[in-house]
Amino acid sequence: MATVREGAQLALHELARASADIEWDPWEALPDLILDSARIFAVGNGRSGLALRMGAMRLMHLGRTIYVVGETTTPAIGQGDLLLAVSGSGSTHGTLHAAQTAAKREAAVAAITADASSPLAQVASHVLLVPGAVKTDRSGDVSGQYAGTLFEQMTLVLLDSVFYALWKKSGQSADELYARHGNLE
């Protein structure tokens, strides 16, 4: 019977291995892309979308204007804006449709995906590759974890790393960021 410790060790080992396979230049360019954008929009489904929402929350803590696509208060996207779109397969219908719409409206589109040749990557102006099995890969060849777990974990780690770079560049204190933390809970 597998143990929780074995699961944690597997996840940490796979995260370390995947981080060694990252093409860093596109990720290093993302903080400036975020800073150069008037507004940021985030779209993704399932667990990948949840990881992206966590990244969006951190951008809000930095004082950036960010919206989650699908919420009733999300305005129209346009030129000067940035869409962060996450899909491991790069073919999730709603995410792909949002990226196509954003590109037609002349917004920048940053695709976070595991597939550089996917439809999402093709429509994007910036492709951010994340090593990891997508949810449809249940072979165990890329990851011993279930389906897209490694992709989702790496997405969260990378977005938190983008936040870290932006935070340090901003010169803001942790107290300044915390003042923006939700207080209606």
Q: Containing H/E element for 64? A: none
Question: Which residues share a beta bridge with 110?
Answer: 84, 126
Question: Which residue in the list 6, 23, 28, 152 is annotated as catalytic?
Answer: 152
**Largest alpha-carbon pair distance within the chain?**
54
Question: Where are any strands of DSSP class E within 21-71?
Answer: 40-44, 66-68
For residue 152, indicate whether it is catalytic. yes
Cβ-contact 32, 88 below 8 angstroms: no
- Active-site positions read 152
